[in-house]
Copies of this chain bind each other. A is one copy, B any other.
Amino acid sequence: MEGERRVRVGLLGLGNVGQSVARVLEENSYWIERKLGARLELKKVLVRDPHKQRPVPVDMITTDARDIVAHPKIDIVVELMGGLEPARSLIIQSLQAGQAVVTANKEVIAHAGAEIFQAAAVSNAQLAFEGSVAGGIPIIEALKEALAANRISCLMGIINGTTNFILSKMAAEGVDFSTALTEAQRLGYAEADPAADLEGHDAARKIAILASIAFETRVSDDAVYRQGIQAVTADDIAYGRELGWTLKLLALARRHSETVEVRVHPTFLPNDHPLASVHGVSNAVFVQGYPVGETMFYGPGAGGDATASAVLADMMMVARRRLSGGKELGCTCFDQFPILPIATVETEYYLRLEAADKPGVMAEIARLFGKNAISLNSVIQKRSIGSDAEIVLVTHRTPEGKLQNTVAALNTLACVKAVRNVIRIERGQG
């Protein structure tokens, strides 16, 4: 044990995650030091309001980022402010000064990753961001290191706890979307303005980061096709259950030979898929690769303590390299594969529509699919709604563009009142 060695840490931000990091650094210090062979010493913490009561000694508190960023007495800058600015600028300044940077900021990495990786490479500075995706689940480490010999073909993630809580609740209790959302807000699982979660922005950022690492290519969050869960009804979930499926907000990234497919939307999964059993606020990432086959990483996707686990592991990793050299396996050379336009992506589809409840309607609808060269897997007439009937259709694999044209055409048919919902299906093939 080299007890005299120490690595000096500055925290940018002392919110939920920052407080957990400071506390666990103290509580687990004996074991952290024993493994690292050195002490991680918290020196300074940047906050906005210096007068608020804080769980760290008062002389550590500062409101001036220059006490940490590019400061010669700070070895590791831990950015936990969230949001794009000033986090992005402070990270880049730290890297340029040769400091190691650990961040849990998904916005910055998903949106400005290229620029930040570049700054780290130019200064030969260390950058780690395990906490930016899926809280305590060490998925970035797995993709960079433990699965390093694999060619990853597909990632499927349940990486937004708020939406998974809502969908799980709708499924378990048969309640509608707004009831489940209210409950999520009451429990603190959804924010007062829940748009970033519900509309898939949060999941899009995370899958952009994961796809970049797994496929060694640049994927910005803007490039991710995105559809939220607001249109999902209790009926869709119930029909899916009859068909043996569970509904999830799935973030999916698939590598093709020269393109990448990356999308976030409500998705039916077969009940026996490992992701189908991931309930509540839990997160999981399912990885397919060669030679490993199929693996899944499951755990708490958010929360101060879970994210602190990731942030502290990153701090130990960069501290160790600072002390004893070495570097990560992670790729430093990124490709620029184009993102597959959503119109050309192929999946199976579930459609729920309302149509006149009279002879010949089913045939007319089926004929339209035939004309558009989409083959149907099943057509199920469900319940009656007044003089209309609810019809559920399941297609075979078809390109999205073709399907959308068909939906538009369906809506012009006199016998079709409306296509109520269209939900993609994933069977779990690579």
Spell out A's residues near B (CB within 8 Å). 1, 20, 24, 27-28, 31-32, 34-36, 130, 136-138, 141-142, 145-151, 216, 272, 274, 277-279, 289-300, 303, 305-306, 308-310, 312-313, 315-317, 320-321, 324-327, 329-331, 333
Contacting residues, chain B, for A34 (C-beta < 8 A) = 216, 331, 333
Check if A300 sits within 8 Å of B309, measured CB to CB: no
- With A35-B329, A146-B130, A329-B317 in contact, is A274–B277 under 8 Å at CB? yes
Q: In whole angstroms, how far apart are the Cα atoms of A137 and B292 in the complex? A: 8
Question: Which of B141, B279, B327 is close to A141, meaning CB atoms less than 8 Å apart?
Answer: B141
Check if B295 sits within 8 Å of A298, measured CB to CB: yes
- With A147-B309, A295-B136, A309-B149 in contact, is A326–B321 under 8 Å at CB? yes
Check if A32 sits within 8 Å of B309, measured CB to CB: no
Question: Which of B31, B274, B333 is close to A1, meaning CB atoms less than 8 Å apart?
Answer: B333
- With A148-B313, A326-B321 in contact, is A331–B35 under 8 Å at CB? yes
Check if A24 sits within 8 Å of B136, measured CB to CB: no
- With A1-B333, A130-B146, A148-B313 in contact, is A295–B291 under 8 Å at CB? no
Check if B298 sits within 8 Å of A292, measured CB to CB: no
Contacting residues, chain B, for A151 (C-beta < 8 A) = 28, 31
Contacting residues, chain B, for A327 (C-beta < 8 A) = 320, 324, 326
Contacting residues, chain B, for A316 (C-beta < 8 A) = 148-149, 329
Most buried by B among A145, A149, A274, A333: A149
Distance between A132 CB and nearest chain B CB, rounded to angstroms: 14
Distance between A141 CB and nearest chain B CB, rounded to angstroms: 4
Contacting residues, chain B, for A326 (C-beta < 8 A) = 320-321, 324-327
Contacting residues, chain B, for A278 (C-beta < 8 A) = 274
Check if A313 sits within 8 Å of B146, measured CB to CB: yes
Check if A329 sits within 8 Å of B294, measured CB to CB: no
Contacting residues, chain B, for A330 (C-beta < 8 A) = 35
Question: Which of B31, B216, B299 is close to A293, meaning CB atoms less than 8 Å apart?
Answer: B299
Q: In whole angstroms, how far apart are the Cα atoms of A130 and B28 in the complex? A: 25
Check if B146 sits within 8 Å of A141, measured CB to CB: yes
Distance between A148 CB and nearest chain B CB, rounded to angstroms: 5
Check if A291 sits within 8 Å of B308, measured CB to CB: yes
Between A and B, 6 residue pairs with Cβ closer than 8 Å are: A138-B142, A138-B295, A295-B299, A316-B329, A320-B329, A324-B325
Contacting residues, chain B, for A138 (C-beta < 8 A) = 142, 145-147, 295
Distance between A316 CB and nearest chain B CB, rounded to angstroms: 5
Q: In whole angstroms, how far apart are the Cα atoms of A290 and B24 in the complex? A: 8
